[in-house]
């Protein structure tokens, strides 16, 4: 096998990096994951992720973790309300949505980011993840790379896989192609213990998800298994707006004043979210890789997930694509079909760019729909409402 006696470094322990580590370890490869978080207890924020049959779930199955996934996913968390800016309900699938079965193409079970990460971490051999390893640079050494980390340590690897997300520091060693700004900025908020902190929203969301549309703006949110709630205010703004608007993201009061002006057409029910969020709020200008990006494969370096193809989150594909990349790359690296890393990487990358471009296009189109003046009716049509 190509990987025999080789040291593989995966930089980044998100959904992509950890899935790849697990899949390659199952094939007997020698893997280290270098992750910048200080330890495994770093709190993973953001709203839950839904796993798709042909991508995220396919990788979980191949990783022999479907039974573990079944212990950690959240039945019913995929149930959704679509509401207007006054929280009037236009679509409610809590009563009508059938429980789908694993294996059904339409079943998209939800899992919180923390439990998904833990599931993969627990499946890895001890000491696989090297915490507090913030990659800063690398140089060629022998056939591979010498990697350097912020804490002063260094490590050699024959093959490096960049799984370090949208602002990847590995990607520039492969290509200069940069992501473009999608026109949308999301502001992430998190509420701990939503039942007590935000009772009105809590009684509305019923352990599921809410998508609210009005006035070309949206609020998207998902309840988490631990009682917390993650949400995003999503609006069209200039690329540098988040950095230049003068908002203090650590100040709930100031942020609420801004919200009332920006979301002036919206009802007061949403305000408890802002008042009770843990701070700071996290501004996330949303980027997308060019759909026609291309580069020559290298013999000892590749990228997966957001590092390869960040895309807007409006089709819920990003984590799924990262895990699919892990699956496809692991298959290529362990296949007898290829006699060099470069051939395996080249095959993987070509395929990956094509699949990611389709998902990115859908994500961009959904983003346009969700931030248009008639977003509510468009989304109701899409989800089969009235
Ligand atoms: C607002 C928002 C909502 C989203 N909602 C969804 C959704 O519903 N469904 C979905 O499928 N996707 C969603 N996504 C996308 C999804 O979060 C990403 O596509 C997915 O997390 C990508 O996985 P990854 O492993 O490639 O990268 P990441 O999850 O970004 O993980 C990268 C890892 O690398 C580490 N790292 C970064 N830099 C370094 C470094 N220099 N050295 C060492 N380690 C480093 C990070 O700490 C992190 O652990 C959303 C994204 C956003 C912004």
Residue 293 is predicted with a pLDDT of 98
Q: Residue 221 belongs to what H/E stretch? A: strand 217-223
d(CA 386, CA 374): 14
Q: What are phi and psi of 89, to 5 degrees?
A: -85, 125
Name residue 99's beta-bridge partners.
Answer: none
Q: Locate all alpha helices (DSSP H) within 14-143, ordered by sequence.
A: 15-26, 56-62, 66-72, 113-123
Give percent of the chain above pLDDT 90.
89
Q: Return all residues near 382 (Cβ < 8 A) that are at least 6 apart.
A: 369
- pLDDT tens-place string over residues 44-68: 666 789 999 999 999 999 999 999 9
Does 375 score more than 60 pLDDT?
yes
Closest CA to 306 of 325, 291, 293: 325
SS3 for 373? coil
Q: Is the peptide bond before 70 cis (omega within 30 degrees of 0)?
A: no
Provide the whole-model pTM.
0.94
Residue 77 is predicted with a pLDDT of 87
For the chain, the average pLDDT equals 95
Name residue 213's beta-bridge partners.
Answer: 218
d(CA 323, CA 57): 9
Name residue 159's beta-bridge partners.
Answer: 8
- pLDDT tens-place string over residues 218-234: 999 999 888 999 999 99
Residue 13 is predicted with a pLDDT of 97
Tell whether the torsion through CA atoms of 151, 37, 312 and 300 is positive or negative.
positive
d(CA 20, CA 113): 17
Around ligand 1, the residues with Cβ closer than 6 Å are 11-17, 34-37, 49, 133-135, 163-165, 169, 186, 188, 232, 284, 305-307, 313, 316-320, 322
Give 320: exposed, middle or buried? Use CB within 10 Å, 0-12, 13-18, 19+: buried
Extract the runs of DSSP E, i.e. beta strands, from 290-384. 301-303
Candidate from 55, 179, 319 with most ligand 1 atoms within 8 A of CB, to mutate: 319
Please tell me the distance between residue 384's alpha carbon and the centre of ligand 1 in angstroms. 30
Confidence of residue 127 (pLDDT cuts 50, 70, 90): very high
Closest CA to 375 of 182, 184, 183, 213: 213
Neighbouring C-beta atoms of residue 134, cutoff 10 Å: 16
Residue 30 is predicted with a pLDDT of 97
Q: What are phi and psi of 125, to 5 degrees?
A: -65, 150
Does 386 score more than 50 pLDDT?
no
CB 349 within 8 A of CB 41: no
Does 111 score more than 50 pLDDT?
yes
d(CA 232, CA 285): 12
Question: Which ligand 1 atom minimizes the distance to the CA of 52?
Answer: 11
Candidate from 322, 364, 371 with most ligand 1 atoms within 8 A of CB, to mutate: 322
* pLDDT, average across residues 255-280: 96
Tell whether the torsion through CA atoms of 329, 335, 337 and 342 is positive or negative.
positive
Please tell me the distance between residue 385's alpha carbon and the centre of ligand 1 in angstroms. 31
Give 120: exposed, middle or buried? Use CB within 10 Å, 0-12, 13-18, 19+: buried
* pLDDT, average across residues 95-109: 80
Residue 93 is predicted with a pLDDT of 85
Please tell me the distance between residue 296's alpha carbon and the centre of ligand 1 in angstroms. 25
Residue 278 is predicted with a pLDDT of 95
């Amino acid at each position: 096998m190509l990987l025999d006696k080789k040291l593989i470094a995966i930089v980044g322990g998100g959904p992509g990096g950890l899935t790849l580590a697990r899949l390659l370890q199952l094939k007997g490869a020698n893997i280290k994951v270098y992750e910048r978080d200080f330890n495994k207890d770093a709190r993973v924020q953001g709203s839950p992720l839904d796993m798709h049959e042909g991508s995220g779930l396919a990788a979980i199955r191949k990783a022999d973790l479907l039974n573990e996934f079944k212990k950690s996913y959240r039945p019913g968390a995929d149930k959704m309300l679509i509401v207007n800016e006054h929280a009037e309900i236009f679509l409610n699938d809590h009563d009508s949505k059938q429980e789908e079965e694993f294996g059904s193409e339409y079943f998209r079970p939800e899992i919180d980011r923390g439990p998904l990460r833990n599931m993969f971490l627990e499946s890895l051999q001890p000491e696989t993840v090297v915490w507090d390893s913030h990659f800063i640079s690398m140089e060629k050494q022998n056939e591979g790379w010498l990697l350097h980390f912020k804490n002063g340590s260094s490590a050699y690897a024959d093959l490096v896989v960049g799984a370090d997300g949208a602002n990847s520091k590995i990607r520039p060693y492969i290509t200069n192609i940069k992501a473009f700004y999608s026109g949308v900025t999301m502001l992430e908020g998190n509420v701990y213990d939503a039942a007590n902190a935000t009772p009105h929203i809590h009684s509305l969301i019923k352990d599921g998800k809410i998508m609210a549309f009005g006035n070309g703006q949206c609020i998207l949110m998902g309840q988490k298994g631990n009682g917390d709630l993650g949400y995003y205010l999503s609006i069209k703004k200039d690329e540098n707006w988040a950095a230049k608007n003068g908002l203090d993201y650590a100040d709930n009061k100031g942020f609420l004043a801004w919200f009332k002006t920006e979301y002036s057409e919206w009802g007061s029910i949403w305000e408890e979210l802002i008042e009770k969020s843990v701070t700071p709020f996290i501004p996330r200008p949303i980027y997308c890789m060019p759909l026609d990006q291309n580069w020559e494969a290298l013999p000892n370096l590749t990228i997966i997930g957001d590092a390869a193809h960040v895309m807007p989150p409006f089709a819920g594909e990003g984590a799924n694509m990262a895990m699919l990349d892990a699956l496809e790359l692991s298959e290529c690296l362990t296949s007898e079909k290829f006699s060099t890393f470069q051939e395996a990487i080249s095959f993987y990358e070509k395929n990956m760019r094509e699949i990611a471009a389709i998902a990115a296009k859908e994500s961009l189109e959904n983003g346009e729909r969700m931030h248009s003046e008639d977003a509510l009716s468009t989304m109701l049509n899409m989800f089969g409402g009235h």
